[in-house]
């Protein structure tokens, strides 16, 4: 999971190149762990499931956000007179009730019994007491980790993780900011557009509001779960009447294609040890008795990307938008353009200089408002979500050779998250790629000052200073 759209650094002195590259590659390792709590476990397997239909008819219409318009001032007034906190609590309860119906419908379709613990968790989540929700979730996770599971529990698990993700995000986000953010994402979508969420906020907040608000009901998917057979069964149950979903055969082909590719790359590295390694940092690929074994989040992400490519190929007339995870699906960059805080895929007009400039204006406005809001501190999940999105759009701009626009957006992401390892390493990678050590050093100095216990910042700073000299 190390494809960030960054350029590799080119220090001026050859003798110092390798140590600096080691530290910049460490950024990839940091990005790997930021995929999110609810990403699928990194095990390479699949399960047999069958297709189903569910009634998710569109309702109403959507609205759009123009380039340069702030995320924070554009939201739908749902019910005048109702406080945001009360409204979000109502929406979470409504969402949980809908998951209760879906849980039992999916169980009936797959011919499994609903575990009593699942019903108990959903009843707890509907009441809205966070401490009780958390305790119930911990009990379920422990049972899962102890392998105290039936096949049915495993196949129904995505309903539970999605419910917990929505409840946790609603608990950690200020209610009005949650409403603003969710409607900014949903409002940027075109009619009938499929939305793919990456980070937690980008997945769970739009999911909550999409299911509980007036307006078009979009298809909402998770970027990080295509490699999970139980999630694919969940998607088929929800959306197979509106989308050509991935089948078990599609999943098996995706796995086999990845394994074949990984085998070629590991054999290359063994045969040509002096060439640049083709196995990515954090990608654990081994060949034992002529069998390929892979593990880790890098492998899971690579499979997720291949399966998403298959999904798009199966739906050639559908439009897609994505909120990229920290480690983006880089194969999507060729046809991607910024779309408010997210990215539109398969855009026919392409990423023009005007669109790139509009993206910068968009993030400038949003960053200024976030930094001027005393209620949004540096540790706020609001800043984290926006900083991630800005950093991901900067990576897209850089990949498409809009270097000046990418730099401005990287800088704004660093202003929002000055001590976030992934943001700092991305920005530093960009600067050192241009041999701008004098510009990179203050970025790391500030990060080390704000996070004095972070040894990686201190080590990177020392390495940058050595390369400068």
Intra-chain end-to-end CA distance of the chain, in Å: 32
- Percent above pLDDT 90 for the chain: 68
Q: What is the pLDDT of residue 218?
A: 97
Which sign does the torsion angle of CA 237, 238, 242, 244 carry? negative
**Phi–psi pair at 248, nearest 5 degrees:** -60, -35
Looking at every residue in the chain, the average pLDDT score rounds to 84
In what order do the strands lie in the sheet containing 337-339? 220-222, 194-197, 320-322, 342-345, 337-339
Q: What is the pLDDT of residue 78?
A: 53
Q: What is the pLDDT of residue 219?
A: 97
Give 434-463 pLDDT, tens digit per residue.
999 999 999 999 999 999 999 999 999 999
Q: What is the pLDDT of residue 296?
A: 78
- How would residue 28 be classed by pLDDT, with cut points 50, 70 and 90? very low
Q: Determine the average pLDDT of the residues in 355-361.
A: 97
Angstrom distance (rounded) from CA 371 to CA 282: 34
- Alpha-helical runs (H) found in 272-380: 297-314, 353-372
- How would residue 431 be classed by pLDDT, with cut points 50, 70 and 90? very high
Q: Determine the average pLDDT of the residues in 290-305.
A: 84
DSSP β-ladder status, 194-197 and 320-322: parallel
Which residue, 91, 61, 333, 89, is CA-closest to 218? 61
Q: Determine the average pLDDT of the residues in 364-381.
A: 91
Q: What is the pLDDT of residue 287?
A: 81
Helix-helix angle 455-468:14-32, to 10 degrees: 160
pTM: 0.82
Neighbour count for residue 45 (Cβ, 10 Å): 10
- How would residue 151 be classed by pLDDT, with cut points 50, 70 and 90? confident
Please list the residues that pair with 343 across neighbouring strands. Answer: 322, 338
Q: Can you give 246-258 as a three-state secondary structure string? A: CCHHHHHHHHHHH
Angstrom distance (rounded) from CA 379 to CA 393: 21
Q: Determine the average pLDDT of the residues in 47-55.
A: 33
Q: What is the pLDDT of residue 74?
A: 40
- Alpha-helical runs (H) found in 75-218: 84-110, 116-127, 130-145, 151-172, 175-188, 200-212
Q: What is the pLDDT of residue 356?
A: 97
Q: Which residues of 96-122 are buried (b: 16+ CB within 10 A; e: fewer)?
A: beebbebbeebbebbebebbeebeebb
Of the two residues 379 and 341, the one the predictor is more confident about is 341
Of the two residues 336 and 20, the one the predictor is more confident about is 336
Domain 14-33+319-468 has CATH 1.25.40.10: yes
Whether the predicted pLDDT of 339 surpasses 50: yes
Q: What is the pLDDT of residue 226?
A: 94
Angstrom distance (rounded) from CA 126 to CA 90: 9
Whether the predicted pLDDT of 256 surpasses 60: yes
Whether the predicted pLDDT of 392 surpasses 90: yes
CA dist list (Å): 457 to 26, 345, 420: 11, 35, 10
- Percent above pLDDT 70 for the chain: 83
Which residue, 252, 375, 339, is CA-closest to 64? 339
Whether the predicted pLDDT of 290 surpasses 90: no
Give 69-124 pLDDT, tens digit per residue.
444 444 344 555 689 999 999 999 999 999 999 999 999 999 999 999 999 999 99
In the block, tokens 């408010």 appear at: 340
């Amino acid at each position: 999971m190390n494809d960030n759209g960054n350029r590799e650094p080119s220090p001026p002195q050859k003798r110092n190149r390798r140590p600096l590259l080691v530290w910049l590659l460490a950024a990839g390792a940091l990005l790997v762990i930021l995929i999110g709590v609810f990403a699928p476990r990194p095990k390479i397997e699949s399960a047999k499931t069958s297709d189903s239909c569910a009634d998710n008819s569109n309702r109403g219409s959507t609205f759009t956000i123009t380039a340069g318009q702030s995320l924070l001032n554009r939201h739908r007034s749902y019910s005048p007179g109702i406080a945001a906190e009360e409204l979000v609590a109502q929406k979470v309860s409504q969402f949980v009730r809908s998951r209760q119906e879906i849980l039992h419908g999916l169980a009936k379709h797959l011919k499994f019994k609903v575990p009593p613990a699942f019903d108990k968790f959903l009843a707890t989540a509907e009441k809205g007491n966070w401490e009780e929700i958390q305790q119930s979730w911990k009990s379920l996770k422990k049972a899962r980790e102890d392998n105290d599971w039936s096949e049915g529990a495993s196949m129904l698990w995505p309903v539970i993780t999605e419910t917990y993700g929505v409840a946790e995000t609603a608990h950690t986000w200020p209610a009005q900011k949650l409403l603003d953010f969710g409607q900014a994402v949903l409002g940027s979508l075109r009619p009938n557009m499929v939305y793919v969420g990456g980070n937690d906020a980008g997945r769970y907040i739009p999911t909550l509001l999409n299911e509980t608000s007036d307006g078009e009901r979009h298809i909402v998917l998770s970027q990080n779960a295509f490699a999970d057979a139980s999630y694919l069964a969940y998607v088929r149950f929800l959306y197979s009447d509106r989308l050509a979903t991935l089948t078990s055969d599609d999943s098996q082909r995706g796995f086999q294609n990845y394994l074949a590719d990984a085998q070629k790359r590991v054999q290359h590295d063994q045969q040509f040890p002096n060439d640049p390694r083709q196995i990515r940092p954090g990608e654990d690929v081994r060949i034992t008795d002529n069998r390929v074994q892979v593990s880790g989040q890098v492998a899971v992400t690579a499979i997720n990307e291949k399966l998403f490519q298959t999904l798009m190929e199966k739906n050639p007339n559908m439009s897609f938008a994505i909120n990229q995870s920290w480690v983006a699906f880089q194969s999507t960059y060729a046809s991607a353009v910024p779309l408010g805080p997210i990215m539109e895929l398969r855009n026919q007009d392409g990423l023009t200089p005007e669109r790139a400039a509009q993206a910068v204006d968009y993030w400038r406005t949003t960053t200024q408002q976030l930094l001027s809001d005393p209620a949004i501190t540096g540790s706020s999940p609001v800043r984290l979500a926006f900083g991630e999105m800005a950093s991901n759009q900067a990576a897209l701009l850089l990949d498409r050779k809009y270097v000046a626009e990418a730099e401005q957006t990287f800088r704004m992401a660093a202003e929002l998250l000055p001590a976030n390892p992934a943001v700092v390493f991305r920005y530093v990678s960009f600067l050192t790629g241009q041999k701008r050590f004098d510009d990179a050093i203050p970025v790391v100095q500030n990060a080390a000052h704000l996070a004095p216990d972070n040894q990686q910042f201190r080590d990177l700073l020392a390495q940058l200073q050595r390369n400068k000299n």
